Amino acid sequence: MKQIWKKVSSAVIAVMLLWYSGTPVFAATQEQTQAREQKAQQTAALAAAYGMADSVQYALWDDGEIVLSGGIAISPRGMKQQITEDTLYGIGSVSKVYTAAAVMQLVEDGKIDLDQPVTTYLPEFRMTDERYREITVRMLLNHSSGLLGDTMVNEVLFDDPNEDDAMENFLKRLEDQTLQANPGEYSVYCNDGFTLASLVVERVSGMSFREYIRKEITEPLGLEDTFAPGDNFDEERLADTYLSSDQDAEPTLPEAFVTAGTGGLYATAEDLAEFGGAFCGTSLLTEKSLNAMEQKEYLRGIWPETEQGDMIAYGLGWDSVNLYPFSEEGISAVAKGGDTLVYHASLVVLPEYDMAAAVLTSGGTSMYNEAAAMQMLMDALAAEGKSIEAEAELPAAEPAQMPKELMELEGFYGSTVGGAYQIDVKEDGILEITTLLLADQEPVVLQYYSDGSFRYEDEPMRVKLVKEENGKVYLYQENYVELPGLAPMHTASYGAEWMPEQTVEAQAQAAWAAREGKIYLTLNEKYTSAMYPMSSVFQAVTLAVTPEGYVAFNRIADADTALPFLQIPGQGSRSSSQIDMETVDGVEYMHANGWLMIDAAQTEVLPAEGAQNYTIGLDGYAQWFQIGQSAGKQINVEIMGKGAFYVYDATFQMVASSRDGTSSVTLPQGGLIVFAGNAGTLFKTTIS
């Protein structure tokens, strides 16, 4: 096995498109092998550089063994840590493939039927929406359950595996939720589906999820460097991660994505590539199960027509089972990407060629990592005489006369991941797309073509306005992405949905309009939650850019309820929510996907000076305070018990935290402070 473990300076990145000329730790025995090693390192470094990652680790598995692997520190702060073959990275949602494999093993044992309702195995699973009874195990694995997507209260923590109650509380939070669509109607990325699937694995096997993965997957495959939060491993092995862009920032505490089957596993690139190699034979699953996971599950429901493979084309557990550019040559390729707050991972497998590649980064993005993994596989195929030739070209078409009925489809389009767009269709065949909420945003201007699309001239990108069989109108977006040094990528998806005006009772519209601009503060996140340092504990209410009858991407149902509206296959309606408002003792609260939030304007104000004690109640809710007249003064905090405090400025950015060892802070003008901890934790404060 050849290994390259180097540190590359930021200056080198500027010329990374040139051949990397570093010297391997182990001298290559053949010139051709050395060239492949250098090319793999160059490819990984490019992915990290494009994504502004701090470090990268990669591995290529070929016909039963790791043939290439390496690790590189990219940024100056990444160089604070030596990257070795033992360095661990969070693999994020690549963990979902392990969950799917676990389910398929239990299918093989006759303990699970993919097409039986989830309630067959989890009778305590229930929701307000009675359609939940129709959700099958298959729908969890192909993202077609209809669940809103992310019920992730207390699921992403720092230095805290939170093993005790994460799963049980997850089921309780689902009880009050609705669905965004009929089960099986279409596939849209859904984290909650895999959390449910991991619970099914636990119930059917009689083991905890992490115990099952260890006993039935990692140990039999000899994967000694794959772990879950709470496992016994040296956390010093984890790659350093950073939340701040400051080059002088210190590494964060270890991140724990506590629902391991959804996004919480850690691994080395070599272990992940070897796991991918298990899908090239029957050491993990039978051929029948492997074939089932590779089926085009996304075509079971509503899906845009596309002529090429795509980065998103769901199988069972896999993001794509029809991956461009391999699809152009008739090569079966499956892929899965994963992104946590700080880690990013990709795994690509070519089952017919007995190859798998894994690329992991601290910082960066899984998309670039996937392009790097694909490039490594393309290079490996080329070395065996199989070249991948893919032209990044749209089907031929000419400018044409636009049908007048397309003008009726202009208006507001929304996506939970892409944002909000204003689309204007002109009589002369010009379509303009303006991204809303971006200052001074100029519209993108496209021309109508004979294939029914709108295009840039001589650019590999087109859009269409498509009315689907469900009566919805979607903005179809297709384009090719080519980054020098990495494999080309193709995306073709419904990026947004038309949101026509809705008729709403005047009283309900007025009630929501009165909340315009209000900020709500999260109460039920644990003190170790990543949401605090990420400044993600704030929720704003806005009707500013939406048509009549909406709150952001939710349809107003009454004065206190806004239901999910978007139904976009692929990614566009992932992380949807139902919003419910409640007033208790004159204070307004917001409920959304298990989170409880309080109107910021109705929180208490810190005293201007003096000593005060604050105790976390039995409900465990955080206590928020407006800084008010204490701005500019020093607060000293002594914590008795398990807890933390966080301080935010007037722009809602965290400026200080006791998690960084701070006990004394100068309070910012117009800011907020929150005390969070276990029930009974005491905060003794003095302002002077």
pLDDT digits 0-9 by tens, 248-257: 788 999 999 9
Confidence of residue 76 (pLDDT cuts 50, 70, 90): confident
Position 166 scores a pLDDT of 66
In a domain, 557, yes or no: yes
CA distance 172 to 170: 5
* Mean pLDDT, residues 196-210 taken together: 96
pLDDT digits 0-9 by tens, 482-514: 999 999 999 999 999 999 999 999 999 999 999
- 669 Cβ contact list (under 8 Å, min separation 6): 627, 631, 632, 649, 650
Q: 166 and 315: one domain? A: yes
For 540, other C-beta atoms within 10 Å of its C-beta total 14
Contact criterion met (CB below 8 Å) for 315 and 321: yes
In a domain, 346, yes or no: no
HEC letters along 129-163: CHHHHHCEHHHHHCCCCCCCCCCCCCCEEECCCCC
CA distance 398 to 92: 43
Contact criterion met (CB below 8 Å) for 269 and 360: yes
Q: 32 and 137: one domain? A: no
Q: What are phi and psi of 473, to 5 degrees?
A: -115, 130
CA distance 101 to 161: 23
In a domain, 623, yes or no: yes
Domain stops at, among 311, 332, 353: 332
| Residue tagged 């044992």 (tokens) | 109
CA distance 216 to 233: 19
Kindly tell me if the per-residue pLDDT of 633 is higher than 60.
Answer: yes
* CATH number, domain with residue 656: 2.60.120
> For the chain, what is the mean pLDDT?
92
Helix axes of 95-108 and 191-205: crossing angle, nearest 10 degrees: 40
Handedness of CA 110, 113, 114, 120 (dihedral sign): negative
HEC letters along 552-570: CCEEEEECCEEEECCCCCE
Q: What is the dihedral of CA 28, 33, 36, 37, to 10 degrees?
A: -20
In a domain, 669, yes or no: yes
Kindly tell me if the per-residue pLDDT of 190 is higher than 70.
Answer: yes
Q: 59 and 94: one domain? A: no
Q: 529 and 658: one domain? A: no
pTM for the predicted model, two decimal places: 0.94
The β-bridge partners of 682 are: 615, 640
In a domain, 449, yes or no: yes
In a domain, 373, yes or no: no
pLDDT digits 0-9 by tens, 592-619: 999 999 999 999 999 999 999 999 999 9
CA distance 404 to 465: 13
In a domain, 23, yes or no: yes
Overall number of domains in the chain: 5
Share of the chain above pLDDT 90, in %: 86
Please, what's the largest Cα pairwise distance for the chain? 78
Position 91 scores a pLDDT of 98
Q: 185 and 263: one domain? A: yes
Kindly tell me if the per-residue pLDDT of 244 is higher than 90.
Answer: no
Kindly tell me if the per-residue pLDDT of 23 is higher than 70.
Answer: no
Domain stops at, among 498, 526, 543: 498
The β-bridge partners of 188 are: 570
Q: 591 and 607: one domain? A: no
Range of the domain at 489: 404-498
pLDDT digits 0-9 by tens, 575-598: 999 999 999 999 999 999 999 999
Q: 582 and 659: one domain? A: no
CA distance 51 to 39: 18
H or E element: which one contains 56? strand 55-62
* CATH number, domain with residue 487: 2.40.128
Contact criterion met (CB below 8 Å) for 390 and 381: no
- 440 Cβ contact list (under 8 Å, min separation 6): none
Q: Identify whether 325 is preceded by a cis peptide bond (ω within 30 of 0).
A: yes
Q: 59 and 24: one domain? A: yes
Kindly tell me if the per-residue pLDDT of 24 is higher than 60.
Answer: no
pLDDT digits 0-9 by tens, 418-442: 889 999 999 999 999 999 877 677 8
Contact criterion met (CB below 8 Å) for 567 and 180: yes
Helix (H, G, I), strand (E, B), or coil: what is residue 202? helix
Between residues 179 and 247, the one the model is more confident about: 179
* Mean pLDDT, residues 367-393 taken together: 93
Q: 417 and 433: one domain? A: yes
Strand arrangement of the beta sheet that strand 550-551 belongs to: 538-540, 519-522, 595-599, 587-592, 579-584, 561-564, 554-558, 550-551
* CATH number, domain with residue 192: 3.40.710.10
Strand arrangement of the beta sheet that strand 226-227 belongs to: 89-90, 266-267, 226-227
Kindly tell me if the per-residue pLDDT of 390 is higher than 90.
Answer: no
Q: 608 and 595: one domain? A: no
Position 164 scores a pLDDT of 54
Domain stops at, among 498, 523, 554: 498
Q: What are phi and psi of 395, to 5 degrees?
A: -55, 145
Position 686 scores a pLDDT of 97
Q: 413 and 551: one domain? A: no
Position 30 scores a pLDDT of 63
Contact criterion met (CB below 8 Å) for 355 and 378: no
In a domain, 341, yes or no: no
What amino acid occupies position 156? V
Q: 489 and 620: one domain? A: no
Position 16 scores a pLDDT of 33
